[in-house]
Structures are given as structure tokens and as C-alpha cells.
């Protein structure tokens, strides 16, 4: 099966096929403002892989089973959403109203709402029903251009509940047309019965859950909600060390509410990424500078909670890469809409459209170790791409906020 896309107005995020040139695996600092592009271009896909691309002026003679006329349309790599919690049982619209009336996220958690609320609902729900509605959410975000996704456990908080979530993620992996990665996040909150025995829950995770999860190959990564009042530095240290013993690379929640030292702990354990980062100062930047850990910002959650935004400019201006992800979850960000995330990143974090798009394509792929498979337009990579509606520029995607720029996702 060969598909030819012709007359593409602009083909974005192109990499040269020259085998001597270094592959683009992540972009940082000033380079984030650049997106290599070809105007009036063609692209050929064969058996799901990019077989070639170039300028229409140099279109080779070839036969194709399908020809897509992309006049007026942009083609670019699909979004990689590297941080989500889309397997959940119920929305939490009730708590939303409480928060508006001034109850803090931490206070809601203390009242047994928040994550524990989601855990109760999830443990009550049948695995098939959970799968069906998670697949519905996945399909909805694919319609908005998401071409690869990470999904976390963490609403089980029991051995059986966590296993159920991870099995649902595995079914999504097997059945969804896009790459899915699973993170094990039992350390998301302390379940009510361990309220006065936090050590007991840590031991449950390390001694019972991890061997089962790893034994069944249910997780790609180890995640911890590292935060004052949740899992502190010492607990995070132990959990990440335990995860590594089973080959689970860390990908952690850090510095959402406090300068907790979470970023430094992630870097110390060679985390693939540290995610959230509302609270980032010089120490965090210094730590990231000497690492390959990807800083992942989740401004959709900051928007929804009405808290301070992440200092994206400061991180980029320090020469670091920035990745953006949605954090799609029922409590702090009930949206997996990446185009809207780009709008928030541009208008609130003052990222340029190019920086924001790099953050959810190349850098998104890097945050899921998919940088050699997708994230740029390169011969041999997966054809994991978006064809946009007819739009005047790449900047129009975040500019036209609240509307979906995606005409078609190819994956």
C-alpha cells in the first residue's frame, strides 16, 4: 500500500535523509524556535513508513494506491502526548465547582476527594467498561491530532486496581492504531487505609506491586507523584531505585506545588522526564543542564487549576529543551486537546508557535523514547502525521484557539 500526498502547502519538521547528518532526537534552547520546512511539497508513505518527500518541483515519477491532494494544507508530525491519565472511571465535575468556590486542590485531597475519589470509582468499575470509555477518550484525542500517547496507572492504589488499569492500558496498546506507553504510578496518593501507615503502602508498592507489574510486562516506566505532602524525596528515592531494579526508567511528577527537590531527584535517578514544573528556579535549571532528563510542562493543568504557569521562557532561554503534554485527567486537567494546549503555551507561557510545536512533536517523542520512530518527517520513520485543515500558517494552529486544525491523522 503506497500513499502519495501531493501539493502540500508546507511540509513541516523535515529532516534530511543524508545518513551522515546527525538525527534530530530533541531540540533545545534557541533551536526550538526553528522548524525546518518545505513549501509546495510531496510525501510518500509505503506500508506505514515515510518512503520519501520533497519539493513538488522535484516530484519523481511513481505509482500510488492512494493520492491525497493537500492543496492549502499543512503536513506535520502528529502530536506526542507524553503525560496523561486517560484511564479513569468518572469525571470529577463536582470538585470543579468546589475549587472555584475557593477550596484548594490539597484541601479537596485531604477531604478524600481528588485522587482517592477517582480510586474508589475505578476500583468499583468493571474492566471492560473501563476499557471502552478509555478507548473513547483515546479516539477523541486522536481526532485532535494525537499520534502517540503515554498513559499512567495510579487510580487503583491497590494491587488489583493498579493491575486492572495497566491491563486496560495494555489492551489500548494492542488495539489502538497509535503507539501507547504505560507508566506505573501506584505512588500517586496514599490510599485511605494507609493514611497512618505510609511505610506500609511504600512496602506494598515495592514488595508486591512492582514484581507483579514488571513480571507481567505491564509497564514501560516508573512514576511517582513527588511532592510535599504526597511522596517526599526520601520515598521517591526508594521507589525509583526499586523501579530501576525491574528495568523501569523513571518518569516523575515534580515541582507542581513546591520547590520540593523533585527535579533534582529525578535527574539523580536518570529520569526520562520530570513533569509539571510550575516551581522551577536556578537550582532546578542547573540540575537539568547536566542531564538528559526532559523537562515536561503541563500548562493545561495550571490553566484549569488557575495556578501559576510554568516558566517555559526561563527554561528555554537557559538552553534547555521543553516538552509540553496535556496531563489529561479527571481532577486537574479534563482535556486532552493538544491544539488548545499549544494556544495556552503561546498565550500564557509566551512560547512561540514553533517552540510549542517542537515541544509536542520532536521533544514529545524524546520524552517517550520514540524519537527514532516518529516526531519528525524523515525517510524510514513511521508515517505518524497530521494533515491540517486549509490554514494560512503554522502559527494559525495556536492562534485559532478553541478550534480543531486537524483534517486527518495518518498513523
List of residues contacting a copy of itself (CB under 8 A): 90-91, 93-94, 96-97, 100-102, 140, 303-306, 334-335, 337, 340, 346-348, 350-353, 392-393, 395-396, 398-403
Cβ at position 397, least distance to a copy of itself in Å: 9
Closest CA to 407 of 68, 45, 41, 14: 68
Rounded CA-CA distance 395/368 in Å is: 25
Closest CA to 363 of 307, 308, 315, 314: 315
DSSP 1-53: -EEEEEEEEEEESB----TTSPP-----GGGGG---EEEEEEEEEETTEEEEE
Closest to a copy of itself by CB, 233 or 305: 305
Query: Given the DSSP bridges, would you call strands 385-390 and 406-410 parallel, antiparallel or unpaired?
Result: antiparallel
Cβ at position 93, least distance to a copy of itself in Å: 4
Closest to a copy of itself by CB, 163 or 359: 359
Cβ at position 341, least distance to a copy of itself in Å: 8
Cβ at position 394, least distance to a copy of itself in Å: 9
Closest to a copy of itself by CB, 246 or 396: 396
Residue 55 pairs with which residues in a beta bridge?
A: 41
Helices (H), 290-337: 299-305, 312-317
Cβ at position 237, least distance to a copy of itself in Å: 35
CB 53 within 8 A of CB 381: no
Q: Supply 142's cell numbers.
A: 486522536
Rounded CA-CA distance 37/43 in Å is: 13
CB 333 within 8 A of CB 325: no
End-to-end CA distance of the chain: 13
Closest to a copy of itself by CB, 53 or 155: 155
Closest to a copy of itself by CB, 242 or 301: 301
Cβ at position 178, least distance to a copy of itself in Å: 19
Rounded CA-CA distance 18/10 in Å is: 21
Cβ at position 278, least distance to a copy of itself in Å: 15
Left if phi > 0, otherwise alpha if psi is -120 to 50, otherwise beta: which for 73?
Answer: beta
Rounded CA-CA distance 95/392 in Å is: 40
Closest CA to 366 of 264, 259, 272, 300: 272
Residue 32 pairs with which residues in a beta bridge?
A: none
Rounded CA-CA distance 74/65 in Å is: 21
Helices (H), 252-349: 262-268, 282-289, 299-305, 312-317, 338-349
Closest to a copy of itself by CB, 33 or 233: 33
Closest to a copy of itself by CB, 242 or 340: 340
Closest to a copy of itself by CB, 23 or 91: 91
Cβ at position 340, least distance to a copy of itself in Å: 4
Cβ at position 276, least distance to a copy of itself in Å: 17
Rounded CA-CA distance 69/46 in Å is: 17
Closest to a copy of itself by CB, 67 or 305: 305
Closest to a copy of itself by CB, 148 or 302: 302
Cβ at position 355, least distance to a copy of itself in Å: 9
Amino acid at each position: 500500500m503506497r500513499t502519495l500526498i501531493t501539493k502540500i502547502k508546507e511540509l513541516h519538521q523535515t529532516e534530511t535523509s543524508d545518513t551522515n547528518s546527525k538525527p534530530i532526537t530533541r531540540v533545545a534552547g534557541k533551536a526550538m524556535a526553528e522548524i525546518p520546512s518545505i513549501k509546495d511539497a510531496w510525501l510518500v508513505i509505503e506500508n506505514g513508513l515515510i518512503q520519501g518527500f520533497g519539493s513538488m518541483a522535484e516530484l519523481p515519477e511513481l505509482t500510488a494506491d492512494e493520492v491525497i491532494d493537500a492543496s492549502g494544507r499543512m503536513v506535520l508530525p502528529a502530536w506526542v502526548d507524553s503525560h496523561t491519565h486517560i484511564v479513569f472511571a468518572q469525571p470529577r465535575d463536582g470538585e470543579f465547582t468546589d475549587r472555584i468556590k475557593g477550596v484548594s486542590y490539597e484541601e479537596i485531597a485531604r477531604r478524600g476527594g481528588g485522587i482517592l475519589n477517582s480510586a474508589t470509582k475505578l476500583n468499583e468499575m468493571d474492566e471492560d467498561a473501563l476499557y471502552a470509555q478509555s478507548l473513547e477518550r483515546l479516539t477523541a484525542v486522536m481526532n485532535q491530532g494525537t499520534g502517540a500517547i503515554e498513559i499512567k496507572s495510579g487510580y487503583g492504589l491497590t494491587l488489583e486496581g493498579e493491575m486492572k488499569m495497566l491491563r486496560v492500558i495494555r489492551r489500548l496498546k494492542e488495539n489502538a492504531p497509535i503507539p501507547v506507553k504505560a507508566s506505573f504510578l501506584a505512588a500517586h496518593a496514599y490510599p485511605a487505609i494507609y493514611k497512618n501507615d505510609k511505610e506500609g503502602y511504600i512496602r506494598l508498592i515495592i514488595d508486591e506491586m512492582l514484581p507483579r507489574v514488571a513480571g507481567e510486562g505491564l509497564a514501560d516506566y516508573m512514576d511517582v507523584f513527588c511532592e510535599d505532602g504526597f511522596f517526599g524525596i526520601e520515598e521517591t528515592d526508594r521507589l525509583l531505585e526499586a523501579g530501576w531494579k525491574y528495568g523501569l526508567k523513571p518518569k516523575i511528577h515534580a515541582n507542581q506545588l513546591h520547590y520540593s527537590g523533585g527535579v533534582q531527584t529525578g535527574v539523580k535517578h536518570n529520569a526520562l522526564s520530570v513533569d509539571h514544573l510550575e516551581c522551577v528556579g536556578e537550582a532546578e535549571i542547573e540540575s537539568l543542564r547536566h542531564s538528559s532528563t526532559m523537562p515536561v510542562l503541563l500548562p493545561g493543568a495550571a490553566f484549569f487549576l488557575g495556578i501559576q504557569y510554568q516558566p517555559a521562557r526561563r527554561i528555554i532561554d537557559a538552553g534547555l529543551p521543553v516538552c509540553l503534554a496535556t496531563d489529561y485527567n479527571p481532577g486537574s486537567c479534563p482535556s486532552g486537546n493538544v491544539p488548545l494546549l499549544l494556544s495556552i503555551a503561546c498565550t500564557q507561557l509566551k512560547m512561540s508557535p514553533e517552540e510549542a510545536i517542537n515541544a509536542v512533536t520532536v521533544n514529545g517523542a524524546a520524552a517517550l523514547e520514540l524519537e527514532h520512530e516518529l516526531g519528525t518527517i524523515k525517510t524510514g520513520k513511521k508515517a505518524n502525521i497530521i494533515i491540517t485543515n486549509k490554514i494560512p500558517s503554522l502559527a494559525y494552529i495556536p492562534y485559532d484557539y478553541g478550534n480543531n486544525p486537524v483534517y486527518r491523522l495518518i498513523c
